[in-house]
Amino acid sequence: MAEAVLSFVSVILNKILPLTADEISRVWGVKKDLQKLAKKVEMVEALIFDAKCKKSTSKAVQLWLKRLQSVARDAEIVLDDFGYEVLQQKVENRKRDKVRNFFSSSNPISFHLEMANKIKNVSASLEEAYREANQIGLHPVQLTMTSADHKEDRSTDPFMDESEMMGREVEKSHVVRMLISSDYKKDLPVMSIVGLGGQGKTTLAQLVLKNGSVVKHFDETIWICVSDDFKVERLLNEMLQSLGKKNAETTNREALVRRLQENLQGKSYLLVLDDAWNDNREKWDRMRKCLLAIGGALGSKILATTRSDEVASAMQTSGLYHLEILSDDYSWMLFEKLAFADGGATKTLDLVDIGRRILKKCGDVPLAIKVIGGLLYSKKDASEWLTIEKSEIWNKSSNVADGVFSVLKLSYENLPSLSMKQCFASCSIFLKDTVMEKESLIQIWMIQGLINDAKGGGHLQMEDIGSDYFNILFRSSLLQATFGNSINKTKFCRMHDLVHGLSLQVSNNCCLNTEDGMEVSHDDEVMHLTIILSRGKMLKNIKGIPPNWQTFYLVGDGMLEDISKMSRHLCVLKVDCTNGTHLSNAVGDMKHLRHLDISKTRVTALSDSITKLYNLITLKVFCVKEIPKKFSNLINLRHFQFLFRAALVQSCLFPGTGQLSNLQTLPYFVVSQAKGCQLEELEHLSNL
């Protein structure tokens, strides 16, 4: 709880400081009020740090933290409202040579007075919270800055390619023999790899698919992450996408089978069903019936990975392989490759001795070994290794599965900064097994205010700091490379399902994933909401909108009909619905929106209302053919990503690009003779 409140406080400080330094705050007469608010926030931050250090379970402390979280949220809303007005004023006065005429029709004196009162009210609430803290035994603690709060040395590259996984050659050879064998008389036989979570089932399946004999044996390989959402139509659609085909945009089972027949008829194929959880025989029989109808050449097979023998049985497995833990020797080889990689800990007799003792606690489970190895890589001193060895968290492990989770928790607790922990927890907004793009992930961290340039003095790009955070999480195996993705040039990643479970746990109920919006409740703690829409469903309204709602991720085959009733404080809106063709004008009312991603919709025209989103930092669309005339009003825009189609663009996409001084990403610029559309527009965009 304390870390969640600290997250709020750090975000608030990051917002106050630039507003305090802005000339407009002085002209509007609130500069001193903002400075006082910043001091109050810092005082309370020292108290929260004390609560965190003490790990207090006192009911009084927990209630105090909950009330403080509410006050912090109020402060953030006030600052966001003030910041928006500042940006709006800058847009209105951009053509002037100096800051003046602040009392425009859009910013009456009444607004300035109201804002000053709100800032004073928040300061008073924080002062009251400070007095209450003393009464319940909390005292200010001097905050210390961690060395990793802004960046790490980029000269090192300790990432290990999954293909170098030790100790699985025998297992790989056995599975390969099963797949290329002609002994199985049954049509489309199933081969299953069964093992504990973190045992390396997915990695083994990936290695098998890269094997030369397997590549030659099958005409097509299809990879699907099944997870616990076993819906036949979804799986068939994902088969098409794995074959490089577009989303079928239909849930008609017969139509999907026909599409697959067109692509697989007469071909031998290997279908990998990774992370299968369904042990319902009837559901599997429906899927198998469709697969048999697709056809395919004799010799086609299915390879499944699962934790459960019951799942393998329900799939009528013909060939079963139980994946065992690594041998002690291979466990050590994997550990030392990570912990003692270039740039990491120096391999000394002391560290080897301590490392072997720690390794015994990992139960020879590859995921646990990779995580602990990545953690110890950053610990250079024997005393730090001893601290890890003697951590109380090991005492909470009663079995192998608990032991793996304990290692994950230990790695999280040892992340070098609070900001990095917050970034990790933020990943829980994505559904389990979601493939995440590194660039998008970093942009969302920025927008949520989680990236802290504590030691950079404001001279570092937030994107570079975010990349450092990503690298540390990646090295710790809290993020993993996706199948077929170059490890040293990672652009996409995913979370192991055990790691995703940890991210949900440490997010303190701030994230909620639900289907069709049916389970959304008026919960003060919910800040990040993901809704999966079923085919044909239309999200008209969400009952009980969470008051602190900041992130909305809509995914599926349904449609978003009306966004006018969404939270006005929404910062991130990501819509992955292929049926969407129109962006509502109501989006212009979301004045705090900083990240808008509609790249997986059919929207090609942006409405004029979008030009009121002065806070917008990232805008992603699939294809664009119409841009509002006042697009250059988006003065905070850093990343504008779209797919260029010459047939849709007859002239300059948007004039005045040169006024977007923060712009870093612009895929295309159509040059014309029109005013503001010459190549010279890009001359002063130094970050592009």
Where does the pLDDT of residue 479 fall: very low under 50, low under 70, confident under 90, or very high at 90 and above?
very high
Is the confidence at residue 102, as pLDDT, over 70? no
Task: Give the mean model confidence (pLDDT) for residues 508-534.
Answer: 66
CA-wise closest residue to 128 among 12, 19, 47, 11 = 47
Where does the pLDDT of residue 308 fall: very low under 50, low under 70, confident under 90, or very high at 90 and above?
very high
Where does the pLDDT of residue 423 fall: very low under 50, low under 70, confident under 90, or very high at 90 and above?
very high
Is the confidence at residue 56, as pLDDT, over 70? no
Residue 459: what pLDDT? 60
Is the confidence at residue 157, as pLDDT, over 50? no
CA-wise closest residue to 596 among 614, 621, 578, 568 = 621
Is the confidence at residue 300, as pLDDT, over 90? yes
- Cα distance between residue 369 and residue 160, in whole Å: 13
- Cα distance between residue 78 and residue 419, in whole Å: 23
The kind and range of the H/E element at 225 are strand 220-227
Residue 19: what pLDDT? 78
Where does the pLDDT of residue 356 fall: very low under 50, low under 70, confident under 90, or very high at 90 and above?
very high
List the helix and strand counts (H, then E) for the chain.
21, 17
Residue 540: what pLDDT? 53
Kindly state the tokens that stand for 108: 């009456």
Residue 153: what pLDDT? 39
Residue 104: what pLDDT? 47
Higher pLDDT, 101 or 682: 682
Residue 103: what pLDDT? 46
Higher pLDDT, 655 or 658: 658
Task: Give the mean model confidence (pLDDT) for residues 438-456.
Answer: 80
Strand partners, 553: 530, 574
pLDDT tens-digit readout, 370-414:
999 999 998 999 999 999 999 988 887 777 778 888 899 999 999
Residue 29: what pLDDT? 72
Kindly state the tokens that stand for 24: 């407009």
Choice among 143-147, 472-476, 639-643, 668-672 with the minimum mean pLDDT:
143-147
- Cα distance between residue 549 and residue 159, in whole Å: 36
Helices (H), ranges, 281-437: 281-294, 309-314, 328-339, 349-360, 366-377, 382-389, 400-413, 418-426
pLDDT tens-digit readout, 253-278:
898 999 999 999 889 999 999 999 98
Is the confidence at residue 352, as pLDDT, over 90? yes
DSSP, residue by residue, 296-327 = --TT-EEEEEES-HHHHHHTT-SEEEEPPPPP
Residue 328: what pLDDT? 93
Higher pLDDT, 40 or 246: 40
Task: Give the mean model confidence (pLDDT) for residues 183-205.
Answer: 90
Task: Give the mean model confidence (pLDDT) for residues 671-682.
Answer: 76
pLDDT tens-digit readout, 573-599:
888 876 667 777 888 888 899 999 988
The kind and range of the H/E element at 74 are helix 59-92
CA-wise closest residue to 267 among 233, 224, 221, 302 = 221
Pairing of the two strands 551-556 and 559-560: unpaired
Higher pLDDT, 560 or 201: 201
Burial of 420 (0-12, 13-18, 19+ CB in 10 A): buried
Residue 55: what pLDDT? 61
Choice among 2-6, 340-344, 465-469, 662-666 with the minimum mean pLDDT:
2-6
Task: Give the mean model confidence (pLDDT) for residues 543-556.
Answer: 72
Distance of CA 47 to the CA centre of its chain: 30
Task: Give the mean model confidence (pLDDT) for residues 150-178.
Answer: 64
Choice among 105-119, 217-231, 285-299, 437-451 with the minimum mean pLDDT:
105-119
Choice among 122-126, 347-351, 396-400 with the minimum mean pLDDT:
396-400
Do 191 and 319 touch, CB atoms closer than 8 A? yes
Q: pLDDT > 70: what percent of the chain?
A: 81
Average pLDDT, the chain: 81
Residue 486: what pLDDT? 47
Higher pLDDT, 681 or 644: 681
In the sheet that 436-437 helps form, which strands lie side by side, from edge to edge?
A: 436-437, 492-494, 480-481
